[in-house]
Amino acid sequence: MPDDPDDVSMVLRGGVQTRSQAWDFVRWFADAWMGCPLQSEDGCTEDELAAAEADLGFELPAALREGLHLFGRREDLTRQQDPLVRSTGLYVDDALNGVLVFRRENQDCAHWGIRLNEIEQEDPPVVVESREGWIPFFNRMSLAWVELVLSESLFGTDSLYDACELPEALVPSLHARYAQVDLPDHPMWASKDDSPVRWYAAPGRLIRRDGIKDQSWIHARGRTPADLEAIRAELPGPWVC
């Protein structure tokens, strides 16, 4: 990992090319941003995963299984807003010849999953259920894990989160002060107007921008209260909190 202890854009420079890079990032993020390194008890046990596979009738893809085994019990990383499904709750949606659902929107308005006809791949593509039906989300599960951790960490209960509708006039400031995180554009399930989703970061500061139109929503998290105040000062929009 880079020397900078808290810059997401630096750590993800060059993108996530392998599953091991995804796990390295989650380990770093849990320690540097959440203040609690991953522990053995943060993951699902082999017995739990084997039981889930027995119930489903097939083996889980390596990228899904490894993530669950590493941090599937870490609530702060996986279950704040649109939660990771617990290993005992994994299920197949019969739409479009079947999708294994591993994550859901908090009011069940959307779901994330892997198509059964791609389930034997080690790091398969992920789809998300939108108002237009199931659509591509990421071309690899390992990328979806990184996005899940970033998104869920935004909405913690530690008063380090805020949001606003960003006026177009402030977009140059966003681009000047924050580096775009090296994750592919991906859709927001709620609306095409809120897509693509892009991430931006600076030391101690993390921003998700939903859409590229005027007044698109941005969601911000600081590593500390001072970092969050810096985001508000640098992007003086109509912040909700």
pLDDT given at position 133: 87
Distance CA 71, CA 29 (A): 12
Q: Biggest alpha carbon distance in the chain?
A: 54
pLDDT tens for each residue of 55-64:
999 999 999 9
pLDDT given at position 2: 47
Distance CA 227, CA 6 (A): 11
- CATH homologous superfamily, domain 8-152: SMI1/KNR4-like (3.40.1580.10)
Q: What is the CATH number of domain 157-234?
A: 3.30.160
* Stretch among 119-123, 130-134, 211-215 having the lowest mean pLDDT: 130-134
The answer on pLDDT for 230 being more than 60 is: yes
pLDDT tens for each residue of 155-204:
987 889 999 999 999 999 999 999 999 999 999 988 888 899 999 999 99
Domain-by-domain residue ranges, the chain?
8-152, 157-234
pLDDT tens for each residue of 8-42:
999 999 999 999 999 999 999 999 999 999 999 99
The answer on pLDDT for 222 being more than 60 is: yes
Distance CA 74, CA 27 (A): 12
Angle at which helices 62-71 and 141-154 cross, to 10°: 30
Spatial contact of 114 and 100, defined as CB atoms under 8 Å apart: yes
pLDDT given at position 4: 59
Buried b (16+ CB within 10 A) or exposed e, 9-24: bbbbeeebeebebbbe
